[in-house]
A and B are shown apart, each in its own frame.
Chain A
Amino acid sequence: MRLLLLFLLVNSLLFAQNKTITSGEKLVFTASYNMSGILTDIAEVTMQVNEVKTSKSTLLHLKTTAVTYSKWDNFFKIRDLYESYVSPTYLTPYLYKRDIDEGGYYKFMQYNFNPKTKTVNSLMRKKNSKGEFWEERKTLTIGANTNDLVTTLYKLRNLDIDKAKTNDTSQFTILFDNKEFTVSVKMLGKETINTAIGRKECYKLGISLPRNNELGKNSDFVLWLTADANKIPVYGKFKIPVGNGELKIKSATGLMH
């Protein structure tokens, strides 16, 4: 009986069908940073889903961008692009790209996933102090449940949260900067909050990162997903060693339900 339950749980995490995301979906957020107790709007974050056709298949292109608002552009310019190409049914990642430009700091990461062999061909490109680019290529072996960051954000929305009870936890393994780490997502309960797209009943999820993660220790995230079939992330709070901030939804279009 226990084995059967375990099998069902693993199965639901690994092979959960996409029931929430469709091509044409566009979510726009405002990212704010807390400066000495006062929140300042810094950047616009957009999460978009499009269909992409190759000669052999049709994939979903999950794209997340962050661009600084005009008043910040001359002080600290951000042009971040995170994208993932996944299978439309199970959101299995095939290609992931992270192209970040933050106040002059540039980094490019690319993962070519091979789900059959559970390997990833990784490419990292950075700029040195002289402004010259250098590259590093690696082949990594990953676990059966490992995804990239963007895919994980969308897979989170495909969890059967409606069946979860308060304090239930799910684990996600993410490949970030060529390292795998596990994040725990804990159901904190339900809350009704006011958002730019109306008053919404939401699932409140706590996301904890391992202590030795890229963002440093004591990182904490709380995410509010609408308690409907779309499970839109409408509000997020984050705490990192250099401060804390918020992510608030501005608009949501092209939703599946």
Chain B
Amino acid sequence: MRHFIKIIAFIAAILALVLAVTPLSNIALFPLLLAITLSILLYILSKKQDKSNKPVQYILLLSAVALGFMIYKSLFTEAIVKEEAQEEMNIKEQESQEESLKELEALDIDFE
């Protein structure tokens, strides 16, 4: 049982860390909470069975790093559109408008 919880907790902590560095940093919260909960459970079991606490420390360390990334990203990462993306869109719009003007000239536009 203790071994199983240890594996799941490690997987959750690593998943939280991976998600925390991607744009999906917000949803890293779920594996992070799971990792912390399981590490508490693991700590209690280790105490009862008089086993080493090392895995708990590693899981909490990974969780702390993930949490650090999450907090940093939520505080300092601004939702912005890259200049190149905006430029790409501007070109697309410009080209479309030029084409549209040709189409409009060919249409029979007679206002009400």
Q: Which residues of A contact B (CB under 8 A)?
A: 15, 30, 35-36, 38-41, 44, 52, 54-57, 59, 61, 63, 65, 67-73, 75, 79, 81, 83, 85, 87, 89-90, 92, 94-95, 97, 99, 110, 112, 114, 116
Contact across chains for A35 and B26 when beta carbons are under 8 A apart = yes
Contact across chains for A71 and B104 when beta carbons are under 8 A apart = no
Name 22 interchain pairs, CB-CB below 8 A, sorted by A: A30-B79, A35-B27, A40-B24, A52-B100, A54-B109, A61-B97, A65-B89, A67-B81, A69-B81, A71-B77, A71-B79, A75-B22, A79-B88, A81-B92, A85-B100, A85-B104, A90-B112, A94-B104, A97-B96, A99-B92, A114-B108, A116-B110
Contact across chains for B108 and A57 when beta carbons are under 8 A apart = no
B34 adjacent to chain A (CB < 8 Å): no
Q: For residue A83, which residues in chain B have a CB less than 8 angstroms away from its CB?
A: 96, 100
CA–CA, A151 to B110, complex, Å?
Answer: 18
Additional pairs, 17, CB under 8 Å, beyond known A40-B23, A79-B92:
A30-B79, A36-B30, A38-B26, A44-B79, A44-B81, A54-B105, A54-B109, A56-B105, A56-B109, A68-B81, A73-B82, A75-B23, A81-B89, A92-B111, A94-B104, A95-B107, A97-B100
Secondary structure type dominating chain A contacts? strand
**Chain B residues numbered 50-98 whose CB sits less than 8 Å from any CB in chain A:** 77, 79-82, 85-86, 88-89, 92-93, 96-97
CA–CA, A67 to B93, complex, Å?
Answer: 12
CB-nearest residue of chain A to B110: A116
CB-nearest residue of chain A to B102: A54
Q: For residue A72, which residues in chain B have a CB less than 8 angstroms away from its CB?
A: 23
Q: How many residues of B contact A (CB 8 A)?
A: 31
CA–CA, A71 to B21, complex, Å?
Answer: 11
CB-nearest residue of chain A to B89: A67
Contact across chains for B96 and A41 when beta carbons are under 8 A apart = no
Q: For residue B86, which residues in chain A have a CB less than 8 angstroms away from its CB?
A: 67
CA–CA, A95 to B99, complex, Å?
Answer: 11
Q: For residue B101, which residues in chain A have a CB less than 8 angstroms away from its CB?
A: 52, 54
Q: For residue A15, which residues in chain B have a CB less than 8 angstroms away from its CB?
A: 112
Secondary structure type dominating chain B contacts? helix
Contact across chains for A38 and B27 when beta carbons are under 8 A apart = yes
Contact across chains for B81 and A94 when beta carbons are under 8 A apart = no
Q: For residue B29, which residues in chain A have a CB less than 8 angstroms away from its CB?
A: 38
Q: For residue B110, which residues in chain A have a CB less than 8 angstroms away from its CB?
A: 116
Contact across chains for A55 and B105 when beta carbons are under 8 A apart = yes
Partner of A57, one of B22, B23, B24, B111: B111
Q: For residue B97, which residues in chain A have a CB less than 8 angstroms away from its CB?
A: 52, 61
Contact across chains for B89 and A63 when beta carbons are under 8 A apart = no
Partner of A92, one of B23, B30, B85, B112: B112
CB-nearest residue of chain A to B73: A71
CA–CA, A77 to B81, complex, Å?
Answer: 11
Contact across chains for A59 and B89 when beta carbons are under 8 A apart = no
CA–CA, A63 to B109, complex, Å?
Answer: 20
